Amino acid sequence: MSSPISEVEITSGRVTIADPSTPFPLASGAVLEHAELAYEAYGRLNEDRSNAILLFHALSGSQHAAGFTSEVDGAGDRWTEDCQYGWWDLFIGPGKVLDTHQYFILCVNYLGGCYGSTGPTTLDPQTGRPHGARFPAITTADVVHSQARLLDHFGIRQLHAVVGPSVGGLMAINFATLYPDRVRIVIPIASGHKTTVLARLTLFEQVLAIENDPHFQGGDYYDDTPPEYGLALARMISHKTFVHLDAIERRARKDVVASTDQLAWYQIRNNVESYMLHQGKKFVKRFDANTYLRIIDMWLNFDPLRDAGVATYEELFAISKAADHHYLVFSIDSDFCFYPEEQADLVACLKAADVSAMHITVHSDKGHDSFLLEPELYAPHLYYTLAGRWNKTRVNGPAVPLVE
Amino acid sequence: MSSPISEVEITSGRVTIADPSTPFPLASGAVLEHAELAYEAYGRLNEDRSNAILLFHALSGSQHAAGFTSEVDGAGDRWTEDCQYGWWDLFIGPGKVLDTHQYFILCVNYLGGCYGSTGPTTLDPQTGRPHGARFPAITTADVVHSQARLLDHFGIRQLHAVVGPSVGGLMAINFATLYPDRVRIVIPIASGHKTTVLARLTLFEQVLAIENDPHFQGGDYYDDTPPEYGLALARMISHKTFVHLDAIERRARKDVVASTDQLAWYQIRNNVESYMLHQGKKFVKRFDANTYLRIIDMWLNFDPLRDAGVATYEELFAISKAADHHYLVFSIDSDFCFYPEEQADLVACLKAADVSAMHITVHSDKGHDSFLLEPELYAPHLYYTLAGRWNKTRVNGPAVPLVE
């Protein structure tokens, strides 16, 4: 049943979630008359359509969570080698913890994305040109509502679970509190429930890095040079929060990158700097600045209370209590993108609302990125929780399969 | 003797430290044939010239450490209202802890600075135009060597103490190990002894923010619009490390700043963002981007081992041991510009070399900026140490004057 290197079967496609007869209203007031979402799915939907897990990707991730894909319709040149292996391939597949023999796992490129879902790079059917600056702001609730339409398309009334690492965890909370009857288990990994001041500062720096680039031109750069320097700087600002500083130093030492740049005045003298610049430049090849800006904006503007129409976190999670949700919340001790204190706060809010919740801290020297790299730290609890065995009366049962 | 609001007497001026007959060689290999340093002094030099304290300013500080000055020769329009009160006025004056009745306190604008010392904004006598891009890179050792020449000008052979907060603390260490016979007491405050990976990353981001600004033009922007957006972004990136995040949130709440900007796409929705943007824009009025870049570069390139020609910190501090230095090292528990761990490392290195050293951690909710704002946390130990009463045999004596 388990295969160490899985050949997961990928089903992929695009689903129309808005057309002129069923337009899609956004939180901003704008309305999309045409919108598609690009998705990938792994495993098979069972007969009663009860085995689906919806996985929200992280900031700059994509729908391609498992297996190998050499190109993606709608991603164009942005589908670089860095994208070809699924970002959670260590977790998803036959015999892995998100076992494709058992679950139907869906992952969807965010609305506003640049990997096939409708976004700023998509051609506006009215003009035949990319939406660019005219593509509206998106909220995490908009992403959640759009994916609910995609679930309707698949005839999935209730998800077995929503799982979201990092920014995806914000959407997992939105989903659970906007569609309480459509999910049972909620698993935010290395995430939060509000935008902290520190996150706000580093995100706003990234907005400015992009908007200050003269090539940005307000977002209408598709006929011209894109704002590569600004996007690279934005990525560098965020990258340092994803990877533990010791790991950055180790990688920089191994992975000496000869800089081909000439900054006008500054001379790069240190591997850490050339490593970071290399990260920034690699990212520019695979991502669109307008999409990046919308996702950053989405995070800055995250407010699940506003989205659910409540005033406090106690009221918010009363929704989860009424729906009998169970939360599994992971912290990474070395995370300084979403600090462990944030998940502790989230769990305190859940407990104050008497929601069933388990909080697990994994210990890693990899920082925030641990959730991509170390399945062994997450698999046992994911397995038990997905199997419904999170309380004392359910701990006996078949042994947990190990991730190999 | 003590006056709660002191009217400290300021002596100020510029001292020529390089001319064609005595040029000033820089670590980079470049040579300055003309250079002046702008200084301020408080108190009087005693007859045997033994009561001098050299104070190194922080990143974007100036020689104006105490009292009130409405303009400074050479600073031009950059001498804004934000500069007029001395940055350490709470510490320096008659009856204050750096008592001007007792000590002669000197503070000097860094070589490369924009407040009167020779730097990128200074007119090149050969061309009659600002040096701009042609002004060379400076190291912290260059700053120290240039200030040693200024001490020669005053006939000061040995300082009573060097004091340096933040980046100034790096120079205090340079001074003590490059001129061991010229100082007795070394006081780095909220500083370090190496450039950490995190500092390297945030500093490099700032380099890119400035160099990416199209108005930077390699550094030759003086006839044109300066790189204001880039410099403002750089300041915002660093500002978040100076002020405790809770304080940023508190200040942002009180100090609502109506944004007059229109970013092309992003809509500011939060006080924290407008507060930070306001900080960035305020800074642009009072600072020069080329100078900022040189100070950032100086910090990125800080290496007291290279400067002193030794291989290890044990060898470096053996120099201090041989000269019988005493160090007073301050940490701020909430500092995330120079983390408390850094000073603990520094003190461990000092102790390994058997140097007399005292390590004090102050507890503050103000973050790195505490050293500017809370003299009461520093004054008692500063007073005892400057009075030579740091060991057990010297603790008795006149009562410590309180800062009022």
Q: Can you spell out the DSSP letters for A276-330?
A: HHHHHHHHHHH--HHHHHHHHHHHHT--HHHHHT-SSHHHHHHHHHHTT-EEEEE
Beta-strand pair A356-362/A326-332 = parallel
Residue B401 forms part of a structural domain: no
Q: How many domains does chain B have?
A: 2
Same domain as A205, residue A191: no
The strand ranges marked E within A26-133 are: 31-32, 35-42, 52-55, 92-93, 98-99, 104-108, 123-124, 129-130
Beta-strand pair B52-55/B24-25 = unpaired
Residue A5 forms part of a structural domain: no
Same domain as B263, residue B331: no
Q: Which of B139, B208, B221, B253 to mutate to test the interface with A (most CBs of A within 10 A)?
A: B208
Q: Which residues of A are catalytic?
A: 166, 335, 368
We report the CATH number of the domain holding residue B122 as 3.40.50.1820
Q: How many CB pairs under 8 A join A and B?
A: 123
- The pTM for the full model equals 0.89
Cβ(A186)–Cβ(A358) below 8 Å: no
Q: In whole angstroms, what is the distance from residue A337 CA to residue A238 CA?
A: 8
Whether A205 and B272 lie within 8 Å, measured CB to CB: no
Q: Which chain A residue is nearest to residue B280, measuring alpha carbons?
A: A205
- CA–CA distance from A191 to each of A234, A308, B126 (Å)? 20, 19, 59
Which helix (H) or strand (E) segment is A356 a member of? strand A356-362
| Closest CB to A218 among B214, B246, B265 | B265
What is the pLDDT at residue B403?
39
pLDDT band with cut points at 50, 70 and 90 for residue A257: low
Cβ(B67)–Cβ(B158) below 8 Å: no
Question: In b/e form, how buried is each residue of B104-129, taking b as 16+ CB within 10 angstroms?
Answer: bbbbbbbbbbbbbbbbbbbeeeeeee
For residue B222, the tally of other CB atoms under 10 A from its CB is 16
B263 near A CB under 8 A: yes
Query: How close is the nearest chain A Cα to the Cα of B205, in Å?
Result: 7
- CA–CA distance from B39 to each of A346, B96, B118 (Å)? 53, 21, 12
What is the pLDDT at residue A263?
74
Q: Which A residues 209-238 touch B at CB under 8 Å?
A: 209, 211-214, 216-219, 229-230, 232-233, 236-237
| Closest CB to A200 among B202, B209, B270 | B270
Q: Locate B216 and state its tokens.
A: 């930077």
Q: Which A residues 293-332 touch B at CB under 8 Å?
A: 293, 297, 300-301
Same domain as A329, residue A180: yes
What is the pLDDT at residue A261?
65
Q: In whole angstroms, what is the distance from residue B383 CA to residue B134 CA?
A: 43
Query: How close is the nearest chain A Cα to the Cα of B202, in Å?
Result: 8
> Which of A256, A272, A296 is the last residue before a domain boundary?
A296
Residue B358 forms part of a structural domain: yes
Same domain as B270, residue B280: yes
What is the pLDDT at residue B267?
85
Helix axes A271-286, A228-242, angle to 10 degrees: 120
> Which of A270, A296, A322 is the last residue before a domain boundary?
A296
Of A86-95, A198-207, B6-15, the poorest mean pLDDT is in B6-15
What is the pLDDT at residue A398?
47
What is the pLDDT at residue A265?
83
pLDDT band with cut points at 50, 70 and 90 for residue A1: very low
What is the pLDDT at residue A180?
98
A262 near B CB under 8 A: no
Same domain as B153, residue B61: yes
Query: How close is the nearest chain B Cα to the Cα of A213, in Å?
Result: 7
Residue B120 forms part of a structural domain: yes
> What pLDDT, in 10s, does the model give residues A335-364?
989 999 999 999 999 999 999 999 999 999
Q: In whole angstroms, what is the distance from residue A60 CA to residue A167 CA?
A: 9
Query: How close is the nearest chain A Cα to the Cα of B262, in Å?
Result: 11
Same domain as B92, residue B60: yes
Residue A367 predicted with pLDDT over 90: yes
What is the pLDDT at residue B270?
87
To the nearest whole number, what is the mean pLDDT of chain B? 92
Residue with the bigger pLDDT between A207 and A254: it is A207
Same domain as B185, residue B124: yes
| Closest CB to B276 among A204, A237, A266 | A204
Residue A218 predicted with pLDDT over 60: yes
Q: Which chain B residue is nearest to residue A265, measuring alpha carbons?
A: B218
The total number of residues shown for chain B amounts to: 404
Residue B5 forms part of a structural domain: no
Q: In whole angstroms, what is the distance from residue A29 CA to residue A62 CA?
A: 26
Of A244-253, A309-318, B155-164, the poorest mean pLDDT is in A244-253
Domain that holds residue A283: 199-296
Residue A399 predicted with pLDDT over 90: no
What is the pLDDT at residue B256?
61
Cβ(B139)–Cβ(B27) below 8 Å: yes
> Which of A250, A278, A296 is the last residue before a domain boundary?
A296
What is the pLDDT at residue A391?
66
- CA–CA distance from A105 to each of A42, A86, A227, B211, B339 (Å)? 5, 13, 35, 45, 43
Query: How close is the nearest chain B Cα to the Cα of A124, in Å?
Result: 18
Same domain as B31, residue B96: yes
Residue A4 forms part of a structural domain: no
What is the pLDDT at residue A327?
97
Residue type, A126: Q
Residue A16 predicted with pLDDT over 70: yes
Q: Which chain A residue is nearest to residue B294, measuring alpha carbons?
A: A266
Same domain as B218, residue B170: no
**Which residues lie below 8 Å from residue A398, measured CB to CB, with a gap of 6+?**
none
Same domain as B322, residue B308: yes
What is the pLDDT at residue A3?
40
> Which region holds residue A209: left if phi is over 0, alpha if psi is between -120 and 50, else beta?
alpha
Q: Which of B194, B195, B200 to mutate to test the interface with A (most CBs of A within 10 A)?
A: B200
Query: What's the average model confidence in pLDDT over A217-227?
Result: 94
Same domain as A184, residue A38: yes
Residue A1 forms part of a structural domain: no
Same domain as B157, residue B190: yes
Q: In whole angstroms, what is the distance from residue B251 CA to residue B38 CA?
A: 33
What is the DSSP secondary structure assignment for residue A253, as one 8-state letter?
Answer: H
We report the CATH number of the domain holding residue A288 as 1.10.1740.110
Whether B248 and A300 lie within 8 Å, measured CB to CB: no
Whether A297 and B266 lie within 8 Å, measured CB to CB: yes
What is the pLDDT at residue B388?
87
Query: What's the average model confidence in pLDDT over A241-269?
Result: 79
Q: Which chain B residue is nearest to residue A209, measuring alpha carbons?
A: B209
Question: Between the ranges A82-91, A162-171, A388-397, where is the mean pLDDT highest?
Answer: A162-171
- Tens of pLDDT along chain B (404 residues) come to 334 455 799 999 999 999 999 999 999 999 999 999 999 999 999 999 999 999 999 999 999 999 999 999 999 999 999 899 999 999 999 989 999 999 999 999 999 999 999 999 999 988 999 999 999 999 999 999 999 999 999 999 999 999 999 999 999 999 999 999 999 999 999 999 999 999 999 999 999 999 999 999 999 999 999 999 999 999 999 999 999 888 888 888 876 665 656 677 888 888 899 999 999 999 999 999 999 999 999 999 999 999 999 999 999 999 999 999 999 999 999 998 999 999 999 999 999 999 999 999 999 999 999 999 999 999 988 998 998 877 655 444 444 443 33
Output phi, psi for A99, to 5 deg: -80, 120
Beta-bridge mates of residue B350: none
A269 near B CB under 8 A: yes
Which helix (H) or strand (E) segment is A184 a member of? strand A183-189
Q: Which chain A residue is nearest to residue B227, measuring alpha carbons?
A: A212
Residue B369 forms part of a structural domain: yes
| Closest CB to A211 among B263, B276, B301 | B263
Angle, CA of B329, B331 and B334, to the nearest 5°: 170
Whether A197 and B293 lie within 8 Å, measured CB to CB: no
Interface predicted TM-score (ipTM) of this complex, two decimals: 0.84
Tokens 């701009």 — which residue? Answer: B132
